[in-house]
Structure 1
Amino acid sequence: MSNTFSNERKRQLVLFCKERNLHFKNLELLDLAFHHRSYSNENISHKHYNNERLEFLGDSVLGLATASFLYNDMRKNQEGDLAKIKSVVVSEKSLSPVALEFGIDKMLVLGRGEELSGGRNKPAILADCMEAIIGAYYIDQGFEAAEKYILSFIIPAVRKVQHDGGKDYKTLLQELYQKKSKQCPVYKTVEVSGPDHDQTFKVCVELGGVTYGPESGKSKKEAEQNVAKAAYEAIR
């Protein structure tokens, strides 16, 4: 594999490593992890230059590191408990917000079509890139370094699931509220802004005569989860 990139791209890659405390010897390998197949599909000279093989590898490394942590962390729990938590924390839903937090959306190399359709904010693309970076780091630095990187974001996710019982905030809010009332929370979208490919939703939730929010999200579902969390923490 070979690729050349500009000095500006090299600067971006070095900065990404510095911010995430990663130590790549081969920056080309890291750069490959950011290349979505939509780019290679549109550029003949990069026909096979995408992150899918790294994603395949990274998915297994992520699973092993997470399973190993859960095995040692939850010694009194049965296999089913470990499997349930693992499925949550390595999911697209869990990985994509971490990718945004890490600035991976800004580092992606996409084809023009995918770029125009809002690919930088698509959870599947972001989660796949997270796995590709893991695969690249495993090749470059070995399992121990890759495991350390993985646990930096997996442990907080595990703790959250352990604390919440593996339920989402809409479920938690409904269960808590229905202990006090026979009514269900009512969610209302109060604002949608931005272009079609990059919209922001604002949602409120009504509990009886009390309104909480609005809270924002890049999808209606995300905004509902965010306002549910705010309401749940307010009335708990």
Structure 2
Amino acid sequence: MMIAREAYRTGIKTLFWWDIGRIYSIMLYCIDILKPERIAQMITELAAMLKERFGIVFNNEDLLAEAFTQASYVNEHQEQNLKFYERVEFLGDAVLELAVSEYLYKRYKDMPQGKLTRLRAAMVCEDSFASFARECDFPKYIRLGKGEQKAKAWERDSLLCDIFESFVGALYLDQGREPVLKFVHQVIFPKLDEGRFDGVFDYKTTLQEYLQRDGDVQIDYNLIEQDGPANERSYEIAVLADGQKIGEGWGHSKKEAEQSAARQAYSKLQQKQD
């Protein structure tokens, strides 16, 4: 019994000191990421990442730092006379809306205004911009105050949306329109072909309206293949116009595969017009 009690006490002490050690390590980490030299290093690492992934090199790194600095950080470092992202975010919001609007207008030449508006709204919104920011690894480079660090503000969609917009605004100020267009062509527009925004409107209807604008065209969706068990089945479907295959798509339901095939066919037809 004595041995058991001693073992229990030893275990409790070990857990106590392990917890203390863990808490201390976390405190050191939090202190480290808030050190001025660590904050400066974050911007240097951000610049290196942008160059490697997107070929972007800022002429004025102060603009880049501003785009990734929240007001909470500026308030805690007033002696440094820093700027936070809200003004460049305002600009970036307008630049992104114009870039997406122009791209959709040129790509979908026969799409009605209402559908263009719905598609743009799905692309230019908080959820989408936050998702793009995560894909670009932006969260790890945001300069936040201590309270926002503890609250893990970098996980909030609203903040990530702001940062994505402010980055684009800063890039526009630093280098103009063309580098911004190159960036959004890398990050945003490929999502159209990946089907990210398929739920916004019915591609089958859009394709039908496009093909039949000058007369009647027979449109058919034929099942090519289905694969997998019943609960994980996938379908491959081809869309034909007057018997000629113009697109094919895949999905976990026939409806999804038909939409995918219609999207591919419509995109191909639009590209032929260019």
TM-score range, shorter chain: 0.5 to 0.7
Picking from 86, 101, 104, the partner of 1:67 is: 101
CA contact (8 A) 1:105 1:121 kept: yes
Paired with 2:197 and 2:127, the residues of 1 have a C-alpha distance of 18
Picking from 44, 52, 57, the partner of 2:86 is: 52
How far apart are 1:106 and its partner, in Å?
Answer: 0.5
Gaps of 5+ in 2: 1-35, 202-229, 234-249, 255-274
Paired with 2:197 and 2:173, the residues of 1 have a C-alpha distance of 34
2:252 equivalent in structure 1: 234
TM-score of the superposition, structure 2-length normalised? 0.57
Paired with 2:147 and 2:90, the residues of 1 have a C-alpha distance of 24
Match for 1:14: what amino acid? A
Picking from 1, 11, 17, the partner of 2:50 is: 17
2:164 equivalent in structure 1: 130
2:69 equivalent in structure 1: 35
Q: Structure 1, residues 50-100: CA drift from partner, whole Å, max 9, x if none?
A: 000000000011011100000001110111111111111111111111111
Greater RCO (Cα-Cα under 8 Å, separation 6 or more): 1
Q: Does 1:102 align with 2:120?
A: no
Do the aligned partners of residues 35 and 163 (structure 1) sit closer, same or farther apart at CA in structure 2, a change above 3 Å counting? closer
State the structure with more CA Rg.
2
Match for 1:21: what amino acid? G
CA contact (8 A) 1:20 1:102 kept: no
How far apart are 1:163 and its partner, in Å?
Answer: 6.3
TM-score of the superposition, structure 1-length normalised? 0.65
How far apart are 1:162 and its partner, in Å?
Answer: 7.7
Paired with 1:10 and 1:111, the residues of 2 have a C-alpha distance of 16
How far apart are 1:13 and its partner, in Å?
Answer: 2.8
Match for 2:149: what amino acid? E
Q: Does 1:121 align with 2:155?
A: yes
Identify, as 1 or 2, the structure richer in helix.
2
Gaps of 5+ in 1: 168-208, 213-231
Q: Structure 1, residues 154-177: CA drift from partner, whole Å, max 9, x if none?
A: 21233355862417xxxxxxxxxx
Paired with 1:5 and 1:68, the residues of 2 have a C-alpha distance of 42
RMSD: 2.7
How far apart are 1:104 and its partner, in Å?
Answer: 0.4
Paired with 2:182 and 2:195, the residues of 1 have a C-alpha distance of 20
Paired with 2:44 and 2:130, the residues of 1 have a C-alpha distance of 24
Q: Structure 1, residues 203-222: CA drift from partner, whole Å, max 9, x if none?
A: xxxxxx9699xxxxxxxxxx
1:172 equivalent in structure 2: none
